[in-house]
A and B are shown apart, each in its own frame.
Chain A
Amino acid sequence: MTEDELIWRIAGGSGDGIASTSQNFAKALMRAGLHVFTHRHYPSRIRGGHTYTEVRVSADEVKSRGDGYNFLLALGDSFARNPQENAYYGNEEIKPLSENLDELHEGGVIIYDSGLLDPSEIENFDERVEENNWHVYDIDLRSMAREHGREVMRNTAGVGVTCALTGIELEWIEELMESAMPEKILEPNIEILNEAYDMIHEEYDVDAPDVKVPSGEHDEEQVLLSGSDAIAYGALDEGCRFIAGYPMTPWTEVFTIMSQNLPEVGGISEQVEDEIAAAALAIGASHAGAKAMSGSSGGGFALMGEPLGLAEMTETPVVLVEAMRAGPSTGMPTKPEQSDLEHVLYTSQGDSQRIVFAPGTAAEAYKQTRKAFEIAYEYQIPSIVLYDQKLGGELANVPASVFDEEPNPSLGSTLTEAELEDAPHSDTGKYKRFQHDVEDGVSPRSIPGQKGGRFLATGNEHTPEGHISESPENRVAQLNRRVQKTEAIRAELDTSSKDDSHQTYYGPEDADYGLITFGSQQGTVEEAVDVLNENGHSVKSLGVSDMMPFAEEEVAEFIESVDEALVVEMTASAQFRGLMQKELGLYGEKLSSLLKYNGNPFEPAEVVEGFEVNIIEDDELDHNRMKFVPSAGD
C-alpha cells in the first residue's frame, strides 16, 4: 500500500444514488489510467439507512479495500427516519457524517453538505477534527444543486468539490457523464460539477490537504466490472442460454445481468415460483439439450438441495451459483460471509458428488464459471460457483483481454443421432444411457427428440437403460462409476503449472510463513502479504478455489513449505480450516485461524495484525482460533 493513493468514501442514504455516483467516479478514474477498487456498505433497506461506497484509487494495482480511508464526502440521507428520542437506530440524519469518522486517516479530508448536516449534533466533533488534523469543508451542496437542477444532483456537486481538492481533471468526469447520463439531466449536472469545482478553486486553498490523486497509465485496455458480471459473462461464453431463478440478495445480481442479456442472444430467462422450481427448471432445460444454470443465496440454495441430488443421480449437467451472505436463516442479507461453505459442499442426501469452485477475483470468476460449465457438461455432474456479496458486488478494473476468449457451446459428452445408431441398446430399443464400464465413468447421454435415444432418467438407482433397480451388483457398479468421475475431474484440474491452476500463489516462494484463504478474501490477504514482507516478515499466501474436489496436493505442498500458516476466512466456526484438515488429515499443529464474521470483509491491516499477534507473538489461543473483533464503527 502506498501513501499516494486516494480512498474516497461517499456516504449518504440508501436510494440517494450513492452507488451510481461512485461507479461513475471509479470508471472515470480507470479511464484516466488508474487502478480502482470499490467496496460497498449498505443496509437491507430500499430507501434510507446509512450507506457508503469506497473507491480506492492508485497508480499501482489494488486488490482490496484499503485500511481505513482518507477522503469523506458526506451527503444527506433523504430518507432518514424521524429521529425520536431513544430510537434504537439513533439519529439517522447525521449518520453519513457521524458514522464515518472512526476510520478516517489523520490528515484526511471531510466534505459535508452543510445544507443537510449539522456537525454540532456530533459529540466532540471539533476536538476530533483538530486532534486528527482533518481538513473540513462545509459546503452547501444542496443549494448548489437546487439552483441549477434538482436536489438529488448534490452528489455531482460533491464530486466537483472532490475533483478540485484532489487534482482530478474535470474532463474525465464530464466525458463519463456524457456517456452515462440521459440528455435531460446531463446539462444541469455538468453545470453543477463546474460550479462546485470553480467555487473551490476561488474560495479555498486547494493545496492545503495533501490527499491527491496520483497519475497512472494502463498497459492495456481495462474494464470496470464486478464478480457478478464476470460470472454472467463466463456463463454466456460457455453457451449458457437458459437461466431460472428467484430473487434473493446477493445472487439477484447475476440473475439480473443474465435476464437482461439473454434475450439479446436468443436465450431464455425464467423467474419462477421458488428455488426448488428454479433448480428443477435448470435440470429440465439441460436434460432437453440446453446449457442451463440457476442459483441463489443461502436460504434459496437450501431449497435446491433435493433437485441438486436429482441432477447428480440422473447425471444431468447443471451449474448453480451460490452467493453467500451472513447466516443462519435470513441473517444479514446485505453482508458478506463465507459460512455457506459446508452447506454447499455437503447438502443433499447420500454419497453425493459435485464440483465446487470459489473464485477469488472477477477474472477468476469468469474463468472458473467457464470451467464449471465445461466440467458439468463433460462429466454430467452439478457444478457450483461459490462466491459472496463482496466478490459479487465490488467493482475493480480488469484487463479487457481477460474476456477476449472464444465461446464454447459444446454440450459435452452427448451423442448425435448418427452416433446413437452405433451405441448400445437394450433388447427393446432403449439406449443404454448409464453403462457400467466406461472411460472416466462418463456414459454419454442422448437428448429427447433424438431418434433411437430414448431412456429413463430417474432419481432411483437404475440399470444401464435407466430402469429402477435395487440389485446389489448394479448398485455398486453405478455408484462406483459416479464416484470415479470425481477422481477423473480431480486429475483434470490438477495442473502441474501454478499459472494454470485455480489456486493463486502470492509472495516469495521460499517464505517462512503462509496465509491461506479461499474465495473473495484473496486480494485482501495478498495486500497483507506485501505489508508483512515490508515489515520484515517472510510471508506468502495461497488463495484456494478448488473446494470440491479439493486441491489436496497443492494445499499440502504449500503447508509443507512453511513453518506455520494462518487460515483467513469469514466464518465463525473455521469451516475452511476444517475442510483442509478433513481432506488432508494432517497439519493440525501447523494451522491456526483468523476469523471475522461481523458482516464486513477483512481489511488488509486486520490480516497483518492477526498474523503478528497469532504467529509471531505466538499468543496462546483457544483452539488455535483468533476472532477478529474490529473497533467500533466497522
Chain B
Amino acid sequence: MSAFSAIGEEREIDREEFTPGLEPQPTWCPGCGDFGVLKALKQALPEVGRTPDETMLVTGIGCSGKLNSYLDSYGFHTIHGRSLPVARAAKLANPGLEVIAAGGDGDGYGIGGNHFMHTARENHDMTYIVFNNEIFGLTKGQTSPTSPKGHKSKTQPHGSAKEPLRPLSLSLTSGASYVARTAAVNPNQAKEILIEAMNHDGFAHVDFLTQCPTWNKDARQYVPYIDVQDSDDYDFDPTDRREAAEMMHETEDALHEGKVLTGRFYVDEERPSYQQEKQNIGEMPEEPLAARYFDEDYEWERSYDMFLDKHK
C-alpha cells in the first residue's frame, strides 16, 4: 500500500464531498462574490478527478482566506500574503498533490506581491486564485493595490492617488504560463477556467473578480461581462505573448471604464514546469520526497559515509 493512497485514486467523486457538513457555515456577507469561488471550485475539483484527501488548498488572510474553512480538503490557512511559498513547497515535497493557493488582492498583489512574481517566474505546477474585489475586505474596506485611482476609503479620505496595479500584465511578465480572468457573476465560465487551470502543467493564475457588496460594489457592477473568447469584438491569440500582453492591457483599462472582460488571456503549454526543470538538472528526486519517509526499505544516507572523507 502506498503511503498516500488518496493520491491518484480512481473513483466517482461527488461535489458534496467538498462540503464540510453543517459547520462551519460561511460567514461571508450576503451577496459576497466569495461564494462564487467556493461554488466553482467545488464543481471543478470532481471534474478534474481530485478527491478531498489529495487536494491541498492553501490560503492567505482576508475574507477570501476563509475559503478552506468552507471547502473540505487538506487545508492550510497561512498568514497574510504567504500562501504561495507554503503551497509551492508542499508541491515540491509531494508533487502528487493537487495544490491550489488562494487569497485576496491585498494578500496576493500587495503584501505577498514578491512571492507572486517569483512563483510565476518559477512556473510551479499549481493553481493560484486571487479573489480580486479591488478592496481590503476583512479590515473594513481600505484601498487595495487594485482599487481604481480616486477610490475613497477611510484611509484614503481624498481618494487614492495611485494607479491600480495591472494583475494580468504583471502575471505575464513575471512568467506565469496560464493567465485568466473570470468573475463570480459568471459561474459556468469560472468552473471551466478553474478546470483548465488545474489541468495546466505550470503556474496557472486566475484573477477572479469577486464583488464586495459591503465595502465596494455589488454584483450588478460586474455585469455585463464579456468573454473575450466568445465575443467577435476581440480577436487575439492567447498563445502569442505579444498579443496576450496587448489584450491584457486593454482588459485592465476597460475594467475601470465599467467594461468587464474575462476569459483566457495567456496559455503556454510548452513551457516545462519548475519541477520538471529541477529534475532535468538533477536537483529534485523522481519519487515524491514525502513518500520516502514512509518507505521502510529506504536506506538513508549517512554523512559519515557520504561527506566526511573530504575533511580527513
Contact = CB atoms under 8 A, between A and B. Distances in A.
Interaction A to B: yes
Interface of A: 31, 221-225, 229, 232-233, 236-237, 239, 241-242, 244, 261-270, 272-274, 276-278, 280-285, 287-292, 306-307, 309-310, 314, 400, 403-407, 409-411, 416-417, 426-430, 447-460, 466-468
Contact of B54 (A292, A449, A457): A449
Interface in B1-36: 1, 3-7, 9, 20-24
Interface residues of B, number: 69
B90 A285 contact: yes
B20 A457 contact: no
Nearest to B6: A451
B4 A307 contact: no
B176 interface: no
B28 to A, nearest CB: 13
Nearest to B19: A428
B257 interface: no
8 contacts: A229-B311, A233-B308, A272-B118, A273-B114, A277-B115, A451-B5, A456-B75, A468-B66
B89 interface: yes
Contacts of A403: 303-304, 308
A449 B291 CA distance: 10
A232 B300 CA distance: 16
Nearest to B7: A449
Contacts of B115: 273, 276-277
Contacts of A276: 82, 85, 115
Contacts of B97: 288, 448-449
Contacts of B69: 456, 458, 467-468
Contact of A307 (B5, B54, B82): B82
Contacts of B56: 288, 448
Contacts of A452: 53
Which of B3, B9, B89, B114 gathers the greatest number of chain A CB atoms within 10 Å? Answer: B89
A244 B311 CA distance: 25
B289 A284 contact: no
Contact of B3 (A244, A261, A450, A457): A450
A288 B94 contact: yes
Interface in B50-80: 52-54, 56, 58, 61, 66, 68-69, 72-79
Nearest to A31: B312
A403 B1 CA distance: 35
A453 B311 CA distance: 44
Interface string B127-162: 000000000000000000000000000000000000
A288 B289 CA distance: 9
A456 B68 contact: yes
A409 B283 CA distance: 20
A240 B207 CA distance: 36
A456 B69 CA distance: 7
B300 A239 contact: yes
Nearest to A269: B283
B187 to A, nearest CB: 24
A242 B24 CA distance: 35
A405 B290 contact: no
B77 A458 contact: yes
Nearest to B61: A459
Interface in B190-231: none
B6 A268 contact: no
B87 interface: yes
Nearest to B80: A306
A448 to B, nearest CB: 4
Given A268-B289, A453-B53, A280 B282 contact: no
B292 interface: yes
